[in-house]
Amino acid sequence: MDERGTIYFTGTAGAGKTSLVQAYREWLDQNGHPAATVNLDPGTESTTFDPDVDIRDWVRLSEVMQEHSLGPNGAQVAAADLIALKIFEVRQSLDGFRADYVLVDTPGQFELFAFREASKAIVDALSGDRSVLAFLFDPALARTPSGYVALQMLAATVEFRFRLPIVHVLSKADVLGPAQLQEILGWGDDPMHLESAVQQELPTPDVQLSTEMFRVLETMAPQSTLLPTSTVESTGLDALYEATERILGGGEAEESSEPGPDG
């Protein structure tokens, strides 16, 4: 029986994925929920993150660059495919941990996770019946209405690619002032408000395009409550737990959850 929940942390480079995986793991530990962490970023140079299962034990960006005479970008793409070839080893290693939750840190370059076919194989291999995506909204982008909408579209793209339930997380909330934070949260709560904010920011004759885009977003990502978190202030982690639990422990997951064949 595969009862553990798997959470994939994704978002643009520098959004705070690695930091959040670390902070959330600590929070889960402190609250009596054993968790395991997986690093799927072959190029990470973080020295502070010590994941339980590390793709770099099998695939390392620097070695891929050397062995295949590739630059960093080419090596990232090659590595994304090499990871898929090693994913059953990763899974086996992960199965050695007793964990209620598996926190997966995805590659630093968002497009490698979102757009490579290999990522689907990776998610299929690692996911049990209970999986969820946590998409991080970086305040650097999310603080403007157009940046916020662009992130909503990226989130909808990942959701659409992986067909997994998603939670929207506003990372690094501590860098925002209270008024700015309220404004951003307001956009999530009220799409009409967001729409007019975008139109004020980018007055364009093509109102039609923008209106239709909002309709698509409403259909694709109707649930867009943003959860503000900060790893610096350790805030929002309890709300992240509640949101993922609602999905993993029933709620949305309930309709489709059947006992898996493996386990």
Ligand X SMILES: Nc1nc2c(ncn2[C@@H]2O[C@H](COP(=O)(O)OP(=O)(O)O)[C@@H](O)[C@H]2O)c(=O)[nH]1
**Is there binding between residue 244 and ligand X (CB under 6 A)?**
no
Shortest gap between Cβ of 254 and ligand X (angstroms)?
31
Asked if residue 232 binds ligand X (CB under 6 A), the reply is: yes
106 is a contact residue toward ligand X (CB under 6 A): no
Q: With contact defined as beta carbons under 8 Å apart, do 247 and 165 qualify?
A: yes
Write down the least CB distance from residue 214 to ligand X, Å: 27
Q: Does 15 bind ligand X (CB under 6 A)?
A: yes
Helix axes 117-126, 72-85, angle to 10 degrees: 40
Q: Which range binds Mg ion by CB under 5 A, 73-81, 105-113, 136-144, 172-180?
A: 105-113
Site string for ligand X, 153-182 (x = CB under 6 A): ------------------xx-xx-------
Binding-site residue total for ligand X (CB under 6 A)?
A: 16
Q: Shortest Cβ contact with Mg ion: which residue? A: 18
Cα-based distances in Å from 52 to 96, 98, 206, 211, 228? 10, 11, 50, 45, 26
Residue linked to tokens 């926190």:
103
Round to whole Å and give the CA distance between 232 and 234. 6
**Per CB under 5 A, does 51 bind Mg ion?**
no
Residues in contact with 145: Cβ distance below 8 Å, sequence separation at least 6, in sequence order: 187, 194, 197, 198, 200, 201, 202
Residue 39 found at the interface with Mg ion (CB under 5 A)? no
Half-sphere exposure of 146 (CA within 13 A, CB side): 7
Distance of alpha carbon 239 from alpha carbon 228, whole angstroms: 9
Q: What residue ranges bind ligand X (CB under 6 A)? A: 11, 13-19, 108, 171-172, 174-175, 230-232
Q: What residue ranges bind Mg ion (CB under 5 A)? A: 17-18, 108
